[in-house]
């Protein structure tokens, strides 16, 4: 965990707000495209078009001299991230933006459980209670039995799980290689991973659709990098609460731009999940223990 001496809270908050704006741009454009382009193909084109941003990262990647173990971990992360982005694109075309965003906050909960199971981190009673509270928040959003749980909701549950798995791997790698290497290797492995899925459902995209997906690539790449800068600038206790703004913006975007109804239960459930995540982060910082970062941003 970063010490107070090197912490730059204002910079951390700025970069996390900027990250939220970038990922909101991703959400808006993908929602605009909808199901006109199959989910796997849309995700693949987003990464292919984004490879232009990989050029400055080639030198750091080559200079890193990755070990066989590091390469295996990067490819494993690429695999789970591939599944996550396909499912995220799929869900975005089928359920409201606010629901996608709120359910994405489950990823940090999965991260906490995975860190306890696979990385040996402790899961004390207060942290376990916060995890249970977050799951209650998910139930508030889904309200099974009171309304139909759509396939888009199921896709988001799995999406959050896959993002969490990739994040646990990224946590390990961030202490071994630089941020450009982490971001660059993600772009390479996910592009390769998406290729066969995209080929199976390929339809010829229009120039306008290619333009929109290139814009997604611009927003997403900037968001990934600025999120890394936020991590480096300030502790999670400073940057984590800022991520909740994305849900507020998603609700406004869905209502104003796409005419989606504002669902108070979704906002309440998202607030419960985000509150539990913030509590976990605060308790771990208070106890001065190294905690697995829990970031609930769209990671496409």
Give residue 88's pLDDT: 93
pLDDT, tens digit, 9 for 90 and up, residues 151-180: 999 999 999 999 988 888 887 787 788 878
- Is the model more confident about 287 or about 39? 39
Q: How many residues does the chain have?
A: 300
- Is the model more confident about 288 or about 80? 80
* CA count, 13 A, side-chain hemisphere, 235: 19
Give, for 2, the enclosing helix (H) or strand (E).
none
Give the whole-angstrom CA distance, residue 114 versus residue 165: 8
Give, for 79, the enclosing helix (H) or strand (E).
helix 68-92
- Is the model more confident about 155 or about 262? 155
Give residue 6's pLDDT: 64
Give the whole-angstrom CA distance, residue 224 versus residue 2: 20
């Amino acid at each position: 965990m970063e010490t107070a001496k090197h912490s730059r809270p204002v910079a951390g908050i700025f970069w996390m707000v900027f990250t939220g704006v970038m990922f909101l741009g991703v959400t808006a454009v993908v929602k605009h495209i909808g199901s006109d382009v199959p989910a796997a193909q849309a995700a693949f084109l987003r990464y292919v078009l984004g490879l232009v941003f990989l050029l400055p990262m080639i030198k750091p990647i080559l200079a890193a001299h990755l070990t066989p173990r590091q390469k295996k971990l990067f490819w494993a992360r690429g695999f789970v991230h591939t599944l996550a982005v396909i499912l995220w694109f799929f869900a975005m075309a089928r359920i409201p933006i606010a629901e996608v965003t709120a359910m994405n906050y489950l990823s940090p909960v999965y991260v906490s459980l995975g860190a306890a199971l696979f990385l040996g981190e402790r899961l004390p009673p207060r942290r376990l209670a916060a995890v249970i509270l977050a799951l209650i928040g998910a139930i508030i959003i889904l309200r099974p039995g009171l309304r139909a749980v759509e396939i888009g909701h199921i896709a988001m549950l799995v999406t959050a799980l896959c993002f969490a798995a990739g994040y646990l791997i990224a946590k390990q790698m961030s202490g071994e290689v630089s941020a450009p290497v982490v971001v660059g290797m993600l772009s390479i492995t996910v592009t390769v991973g998406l290729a066969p899925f995209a080929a199976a459902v390929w339809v010829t995209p229009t120039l306008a659709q290619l333009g929109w997906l290139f814009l997604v690539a611009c927003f997403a790449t900037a968001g990934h990098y600025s999120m890394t800068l936020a991590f480096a600038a300030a502790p999670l206790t400073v940057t984590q609460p800022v991520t909740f703004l994305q849900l507020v913006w998603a609700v406004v975007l869905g209502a104003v731009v796409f005419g989606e109804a504002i669902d108070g239960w979704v906002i309440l459930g998202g607030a419960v999940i985000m509150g539990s995540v913030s509590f976990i982060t605060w308790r771990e910082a208070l106890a001065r223990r190294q905690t697995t970062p829990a970031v609930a941003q769209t990671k496409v």
